[in-house]
Amino acid sequence: MLPRRLKIHGHTYHVNQVPEKLLPDDTAADVDPNTNTIRVMRQSPPSRKLVLLLHEALHALVIEDRIPQEERVVSLFAEHIVQLMRDNPSLVRHILGMCRK
C-alpha cells in the first residue's frame, strides 16, 4: 500500500491513486507542485506503483533545479533506487535506524 502523504521540502504532498482516465495520455503518474498532489494510476501493479511514486517524488524534489534531461534522470534514479532497496533490505533498515536518531 502506498503512503497517503509525503513530506517534500517541508510541504505535505497528498498521494492519490486514481483511475487511468484521470491522468494525461500515456502517463501512469504525475505531480502537481501547485496543489502538492501526486497521482498514481490505480490499475498499476504494486511493484510498479512504488517506482511511479518515487519517480514523482523525485520530480517534486528537483522541480526548481532546472536539471537538463530531468525526465531521463528521474526515471533512471527511481528504477535504480527501488531496485537497490529491494536488493538490500539491511541498507533500508540501517537508513531508517539512522533517521530515528
Q: How far is CA 9 from CA 33, 85, 92, in A?
A: 11, 22, 21
Angle at 25 between CA 22 and CA 26, to 5 degrees: 115
pLDDT given at position 99:
87
pLDDT of the residue at 101: 72
Residue 100 C-alpha cell reads as: 530515528
| Domains along the sequence of the chain with CATH | 5-100 (3.30.2010)
User: What are the tens digits of pLDDT across the range 46-83?
Assistant: 989 999 999 999 999 998 888 999 999 999 999 999 99
Q: Are 38 and 53 in contact (CB under 8 A)?
A: yes
Torsion, Cα of 39, 44, 50, 55 (10° steps): -50
